[in-house]
Amino acid sequence: MNTIKHFLFISLFLITSSSLFPEDRPYVILVSFDGFRWDYLNRDITPNLNSFAQNGIRALSFRPSFPSKTFPNHYSIVTGMYPENHGIISNSFYDPGNSVWYRMNDTVQTRDSKWYSGEPFWTTARKNGIITASFFWPGSEQQDSLRHPDYYKHYDHYKPYRDRVDTVISWLQLPVNKRPQFISVYFHDTDSYGHEYGPNSPEINESISRLDSIAGYLLDSINDMGFKDSVNVIFLSDHGMTETSPDKTINILDIIENDKCKIYDSGPVMRISPPEASLNEVYNTLKKSENHFTVYRKEELPSYYHYSAHELISQLIVVADIGWSLVKSSKRKGYEHRISKGNHGYEKDHTDMHGIFLAGGPAFKTNYQTGTLWNIDVYPLLSKIFSIEQSDSIDGKLERIEFILKERNN
């Protein structure tokens, strides 16, 4: 009798599990560890992530788009577009035509869909009847109901990390007709500590270990549900980090003395809009003074930057050498720019700006290592996993990344 009961219990469990996570219904959790540099995995302090990678996909590095900053790259990941095309050209930028700033800490502007071009993956998925969810992904809070996920959270920097994971798990436990198949979740830790203490500090190592523990908690929680083999998980980062110092600063106001120049941003990249009559003069002055930076006219910016098409990109773009910082300090105004111990935003091809890409689950090959992957290719990868038609306007290419997927039996 006990044998019969045991058999019935196991049969019921298998039937229930199959109905909860049917094989023809893919699930993907996209996890962002902001500022998690590619080589942080090589410090022998990430046992959970390294174990996960050994059983799935590990890329040598994950190349960001230019500028290698948080908001532009998170939106590139979910749209498959370069910032010049999706519109989020920096963490902050100015629209002179409407006299308004976009700033990542301004919730009114970050939720205004007018800034965002392209089609984020959650919109593509929703068009195809796929339920989506996001916990703090940049661009996920747009007020246009067609341009945010079905479930999403307003950003709270201090929301405990385990609470974020618990919410992701609770979403996976919803009834099938309400459960999201695509979930994105964001953690800021290594970015914050990388800026404050630098990428080679004891504090950043503690941060790396902290996020590795969170990765372990997420994976254990999925395993405890009994669905380890049913859910695909991708760990990635938007950019890396490099050491910076007050000794490596370039004060642009020591070079150009045109008070009518509009100077936007600081650190690795500056955008400068001189009066039209002074454009050549300002450009030539900067060009003659190039030392640890390079100045470009917008239309002459090398094509590999993919950073000249958008109308809000200024006429002049100044790019600092890796580790150097561009500042606009005016002694007349008593203003001094604070230089952090670590920064990002530099040229996308410098390896210090590269992040991580790890993936595992039923869609992915196992024990597979590859070279550098590009962040604009994640959107077509997701479209392939879900077998849906991707947006026509993307810059990403499926052929650069689809080899990490298992071959399907037709």
Contact 289, 318 (CB under 8 A): no
Amino acid at 139: G
DSSP state of 257: -
Angle of helix 70-79 relative to helix 378-385, nearest 10 degrees? 30
- Distance, first Cα to last Cα, the chain: 43
Tokens describing residue 322: 């890796």
Partner residues linked to 33 by β-bridges: 187
Q: How far apart are CA 232 and CA 210, in angstroms?
A: 22
Counting beta carbons within 10 angstroms of the beta carbon of residue 285, is it exposed (0 to 12), middle (13 to 18) or buried (19 or more)? middle
Cα distance between residue 121 and residue 410, in whole Å: 25
The answer to whether the beta carbons of residues 142 and 116 sit under 8 Å apart is yes
Among 3, 46, 70, 190, which one carries the catalytic annotation? 70
| Residue 357, CA distances (Å) to 101, 324, 361, 408 in order | 32, 27, 14, 22
Handedness of CA 359, 218, 189, 41 (dihedral sign): negative
Is residue 121 within 8 A of residue 382, CB to CB? The reply is yes
Q: Within the chain, how many helices (H) and strands (E) appear?
A: 11, 20
Longest dimension (CA), the chain: 94
Q: Specify whether 70 is catalytic.
A: yes
Q: Is 353 helix (H, G, I), strand (E, B) or coil?
A: helix
Helices (H), 139-201: 161-172, 189-197
- Which residues are part of the catalytic machinery? 70
